[in-house]
């Protein structure tokens, strides 16, 4: 019996010696996700900056074409006074310009819908970051990280698609704007 007690005490001492190493080697649930959450936060912020920058540039571009339209639009009375070839060319130029710049509407609609969803999901990214800082995260962290990382990928893919569409619309709008300006110069009222 004393031998058994001695063995038990040796095992107890061994357990007390090994236990701290076991505890330190096991990361808490939050710590296990630290790198993934930090990477997600960095990627989310970068995507947010890129989408916001694109939205601002797109708005400025649309505003510049709106200014062209305002500068080259004849009043209704002035349009009624146009006759023949000049009237046809001006009307054709206005229609071509309106058609070309209408392409911005589709991009803006997609972008606005995406930004609405993105803004809603930003709260989940913030919750993960805050949970990491506080040492406690609710829910299935892996699923949250996977979903939100997928949205970052979608943001980058959508941004590339919007930029490609925007380049096409811009080229068509610039050409139509030049035609409209030339037509306007031919028919504008003399001062």
pLDDT (tens digit per residue) in 66-85? 999 999 999 888 888 888 89
Model pLDDT, residue 7? 53
Model pLDDT, residue 32? 87
98 or 6: which leads in pLDDT: 98
In 3D space, the residue among 187, 189, 184, 168 whose CA is nearest the CA of residue 94 turns out to be 184
Q: What is the mean pLDDT of residues 30-50?
A: 93
pLDDT over 80 at 8, yes or no: no
Tens-place pLDDT, residues 100-144:
999 999 999 999 999 999 999 999 999 999 999 988 888 899 999
What distances in angstroms separate CA 54 from CA 19, 44, 66, 149, 172, one per listed residue?
A: 54, 15, 18, 20, 19
pLDDT over 80 at 27, yes or no: no
The encoded tokens of residue 127 equal 């919750």
Model pLDDT, residue 3? 54
The average confidence (pLDDT) of the chain is: 87
Model pLDDT, residue 181? 96
Model pLDDT, residue 191? 66
The encoded tokens of residue 6 equal 């001695």
134 or 43: which leads in pLDDT: 43
- Give dist(CA 150, CA 144) in Å, integer: 10
Model pLDDT, residue 86? 86
Phi-psi region of 117 (alpha: psi -120 to 50; beta: other; left: phi over 0): alpha
The encoded tokens of residue 165 equal 């569409």
Question: Residue 129 in contact with residue 63, Cβ under 8 Å?
Answer: no
What distances in angstroms separate CA 119 from CA 116, 123, 126, 151, one per listed residue?
A: 5, 7, 11, 11
Model pLDDT, residue 25? 38
Question: Residue 167 in contact with residue 53, Cβ under 8 Å?
Answer: no
pLDDT category at 18 given cuts 50, 70, 90 is very low
């Amino acid at each position: 019996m004393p031998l058994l007690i001695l063995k038990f005490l040796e095992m107890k001492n061994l357990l007390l010696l090994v236990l701290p190493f076991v505890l330190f080697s096991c990361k808490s649930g939050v710590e296990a996700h630290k790198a993934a959450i930090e990477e997600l936060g960095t990627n989310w912020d970068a995507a947010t900056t890129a989408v916001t920058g694109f939205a601002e540039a797109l708005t400025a571009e649309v505003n510049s074409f709106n200014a062209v339209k305002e500068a080259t639009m004849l009043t209704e009375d002035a349009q009624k006074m146009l006759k023949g070839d000049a009237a046809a060319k001006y009307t054709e130029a206005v229609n071509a310009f309106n058609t070309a710049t209408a392409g911005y509407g589709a991009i803006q609609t997609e972008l606005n819908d995406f930004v609405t969803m993105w803004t809603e999901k930003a709260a989940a990214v913030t919750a993960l970051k805050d949970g990491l800082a506080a040492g406690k995260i609710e829910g299935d962290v892996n699923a949250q990280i996977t979903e939100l990382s997928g949205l970052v990928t979608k943001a980058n893919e959508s941004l590339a698609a919007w930029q490609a569409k925007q380049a096409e619309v811009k080229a068509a709008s610039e050409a139509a704007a030049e035609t409209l300006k030339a037509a306007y110069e031919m028919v504008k009222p003399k001062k």
